[in-house]
Amino acid sequence: MFKKNRDRFRRFFWHGYWTDPVIFFSVALAVLVNVVMWLALFFTVEPTDRPIILHYNVYFGVSFDSIGNWKNVYMMPAMAAGLLAVNLVISRFFYYKERLASYLFVGMAFLLQVLMAVGAGSVILINF
């Protein structure tokens, strides 16, 4: 069973999909943005007992459901990394069937990382 899974893993990564420049640079930039988001939060968020504002709205301000502890701040880059992985798997699936759809999934994965980084930046600016 281990050999079967190893062969599947190898086939997933040894593929023309990863040598496509659009895919490669979109994935590389998305991973870079995600790593920067993790590092920015790691170096600015300190363990504390006071509540942290996780979401702020210009019209309504801070609502009660958008306040959490310091560990909840790390949910944003974790969800972004999970969605990046899901988009990569879906994009890899569509690569030979419909290349444009594959490019759209990877592009949206990069855009999602950028928007999540903006959200993480706003959490840092509001709280720290």
- Would you list the domain boundaries of the chain? 17-127
Instruction: Note the pLDDT of residue 6.
Output: 82
Over pLDDT 90: what percentage of the chain? 61
Residue found under tokens 């999602």: 112
> Has residue 14 got a pLDDT over 80?
no
pTM of the model: 0.85
Residue found under tokens 């504002």: 53
Residues 75-107 have pLDDT tens digits of 999 999 999 999 999 999 999 899 999 999 999
Q: What is the DSSP code string of the chain?
A: -HHHHHHHHHHHHSSGGGG-HHHHHHHHHHHHHHHHHHHHHHHH----SS-EE---BTTTB--GGGEE-GGGGGHHHHHHHHHHHHHHHHHHHHTTT-HHHHHHHHHHHHHHHHHHHHHHHHHHHHH-
Instruction: Note the pLDDT of residue 37.
Output: 97
Residues 46-83 have pLDDT tens digits of 998 898 988 887 788 787 778 888 999 999 999 999 99
